[in-house]
Amino acid sequence: MFERRIQRIIEGDRLFHLYGMELIEAHAGYAKLKAKVKEEFLNAHSIAHGAMIFALLDVAFAISVNSLEDAVGVQFSFNIFRSTNLGDTIIAESRVIHKGRRSMVVEVKAESESTGKLLAKGTATALPFTASREKQ
Protein backbone atom coordinates (compact mmCIF):
# COMPACT_ATOMS: atom_id res chain seq x y z
CA MET A 1 0.00 0.00 0.00
CA PHE A 2 2.68 2.54 0.94
CA GLU A 3 4.48 1.94 -2.37
CA ARG A 4 1.43 3.24 -4.28
CA ARG A 5 1.20 6.25 -1.97
CA ILE A 6 4.89 7.05 -2.54
CA GLN A 7 4.55 6.71 -6.31
CA ARG A 8 1.52 9.04 -6.32
CA ILE A 9 3.46 11.73 -4.44
CA ILE A 10 6.49 11.46 -6.74
CA GLU A 11 4.36 11.63 -9.89
CA GLY A 12 2.45 14.68 -8.66
CA ASP A 13 5.27 16.66 -7.01
CA ARG A 14 6.44 19.37 -9.40
CA LEU A 15 9.62 20.20 -7.45
CA PHE A 16 10.74 16.56 -7.59
CA HIS A 17 10.82 16.84 -11.38
CA LEU A 18 12.00 20.47 -11.61
CA TYR A 19 15.13 19.73 -9.55
CA GLY A 20 15.73 16.37 -11.23
CA MET A 21 15.46 14.51 -7.91
CA GLU A 22 15.98 10.77 -7.71
CA LEU A 23 14.48 8.54 -5.06
CA ILE A 24 17.17 6.47 -3.35
CA GLU A 25 15.03 4.65 -0.81
CA ALA A 26 11.55 4.91 0.67
CA HIS A 27 9.34 2.87 2.93
CA ALA A 28 6.60 3.59 5.45
CA GLY A 29 7.54 6.82 7.25
CA TYR A 30 10.94 7.20 5.59
CA ALA A 31 12.39 8.75 2.41
CA LYS A 32 15.87 9.39 1.03
CA LEU A 33 16.43 11.23 -2.24
CA LYS A 34 19.10 13.17 -4.08
CA ALA A 35 19.63 15.88 -6.67
CA LYS A 36 22.68 17.29 -8.41
CA VAL A 37 23.58 20.97 -7.95
CA LYS A 38 23.27 22.56 -11.40
CA GLU A 39 24.17 26.07 -12.55
CA GLU A 40 20.56 27.23 -12.29
CA PHE A 41 20.44 26.18 -8.60
CA LEU A 42 23.30 28.46 -7.49
CA ASN A 43 22.89 31.66 -5.50
CA ALA A 44 24.83 34.92 -5.99
CA HIS A 45 27.82 33.41 -4.12
CA SER A 46 28.01 30.50 -6.60
CA ILE A 47 26.99 27.90 -4.00
CA ALA A 48 23.86 25.78 -3.81
CA HIS A 49 20.93 28.04 -3.02
CA GLY A 50 19.25 27.50 0.34
CA ALA A 51 15.99 27.11 -1.55
CA MET A 52 17.41 24.02 -3.24
CA ILE A 53 18.35 22.49 0.10
CA PHE A 54 14.90 23.30 1.48
CA ALA A 55 13.20 21.88 -1.62
CA LEU A 56 14.99 18.56 -1.15
CA LEU A 57 14.09 18.47 2.55
CA ASP A 58 10.48 19.37 1.78
CA VAL A 59 10.03 16.70 -0.88
CA ALA A 60 11.66 14.02 1.30
CA PHE A 61 9.32 15.15 4.10
CA ALA A 62 6.29 14.91 1.78
CA ILE A 63 7.18 11.39 0.71
CA SER A 64 7.80 10.16 4.26
CA VAL A 65 4.56 11.52 5.76
CA ASN A 66 2.34 10.76 2.78
CA SER A 67 3.61 7.18 2.69
CA LEU A 68 1.56 6.76 5.88
CA GLU A 69 -1.47 8.98 5.19
CA ASP A 70 -2.43 12.16 3.35
CA ALA A 71 -0.81 15.06 5.17
CA VAL A 72 0.54 18.57 4.60
CA GLY A 73 3.47 20.37 6.16
CA VAL A 74 2.57 23.18 8.54
CA GLN A 75 5.89 23.90 10.26
CA PHE A 76 9.56 23.55 9.36
CA SER A 77 12.49 24.36 11.61
CA PHE A 78 15.98 23.55 10.38
CA ASN A 79 19.44 25.02 10.33
CA ILE A 80 21.64 25.21 7.26
CA PHE A 81 25.20 24.71 8.48
CA ARG A 82 26.94 24.97 5.12
CA SER A 83 26.22 24.74 1.44
CA THR A 84 27.90 22.90 -1.39
CA ASN A 85 29.10 23.57 -4.91
CA LEU A 86 28.21 23.10 -8.54
CA GLY A 87 28.34 19.45 -9.53
CA ASP A 88 27.93 18.03 -6.03
CA THR A 89 24.88 15.97 -5.17
CA ILE A 90 22.74 16.75 -2.15
CA ILE A 91 21.18 13.82 -0.32
CA ALA A 92 18.06 14.54 1.75
CA GLU A 93 16.57 12.17 4.29
CA SER A 94 13.29 12.31 6.21
CA ARG A 95 12.05 10.06 8.99
CA VAL A 96 8.74 10.21 10.87
CA ILE A 97 9.64 10.20 14.57
CA HIS A 98 6.12 10.70 15.96
CA LYS A 99 2.79 9.76 14.41
CA GLY A 100 -0.23 10.88 16.37
CA ARG A 101 -3.86 11.12 15.36
CA ARG A 102 -3.63 14.87 14.71
CA SER A 103 0.00 15.48 13.83
CA MET A 104 3.23 13.90 12.72
CA VAL A 105 6.73 15.10 13.62
CA VAL A 106 9.53 14.42 11.20
CA GLU A 107 13.32 14.65 11.41
CA VAL A 108 15.00 15.92 8.23
CA LYS A 109 18.62 16.25 7.19
CA ALA A 110 20.67 17.02 4.08
CA GLU A 111 24.25 15.98 3.34
CA SER A 112 26.82 16.51 0.60
CA GLU A 113 27.42 13.30 -1.33
CA SER A 114 31.00 14.27 -2.22
CA THR A 115 32.18 15.25 1.28
CA GLY A 116 29.68 13.46 3.50
CA LYS A 117 29.31 16.68 5.50
CA LEU A 118 26.01 17.63 7.08
CA LEU A 119 24.45 20.59 5.25
CA ALA A 120 21.19 21.00 7.17
CA LYS A 121 19.19 19.36 9.93
CA GLY A 122 15.90 19.97 11.69
CA THR A 123 12.31 18.95 12.23
CA ALA A 124 8.98 19.48 10.54
CA THR A 125 5.34 18.96 11.47
CA ALA A 126 2.58 17.58 9.28
CA LEU A 127 -1.17 17.59 9.75
CA PRO A 128 -3.17 14.66 8.36
CA PHE A 129 -6.16 15.57 6.20
CA THR A 130 -8.67 13.97 3.87
CA ALA A 131 -7.39 14.56 0.37
CA SER A 132 -9.71 15.28 -2.50
CA ARG A 133 -8.88 13.00 -5.43
CA GLU A 134 -10.51 15.36 -7.93
CA LYS A 135 -8.39 17.80 -9.94
CA GLN A 136 -9.45 21.39 -9.48
What DSSP string describes 48-110? B-HHHHHHHHHHHHHHHHHTTS-EEEEEEEEEE-----TT-EEEEEEEEEEE-SS-EEEEEEE
pLDDT score for 133: 57
Q: Where are the domains of the chain?
A: 2-128
For residue range 73-121, list pLDDT tens digits in order: 999 999 999 999 999 999 999 999 999 999 999 999 999 999 999 999 9
Q: Cα separation of 26 and 12, whole Å?
A: 16
For residue range 41-52, list pLDDT tens digits in order: 999 999 999 999
pLDDT score for 135: 46
Higher pLDDT, 132 or 53: 53
Q: Among residues 42, 38, 61, 62, which one has the least CA distance to residue 51?
A: 42
pLDDT above 70 coverage of the chain, percent = 96
Give the mean pLDDT of 48-71: 97
Give the mean pLDDT of 7-13: 94
Assess whether pLDDT exceeds 80 at residue 5.
yes
At the topology level of CATH, where does 2-128 sit?
Thiol Ester Dehydrase; Chain A (3.10.129)
The angle formed by the CA atoms of residues 12, 47 and 13, to the nearest 5 degrees, is 5
99 C-beta neighbours (distance < 10 Å), count: 17
Contacts (Cβ under 8 Å, ≥6 apart) of 36: 20, 87, 88, 89
In contact, 127 and 71? CB cutoff 8 Å: yes
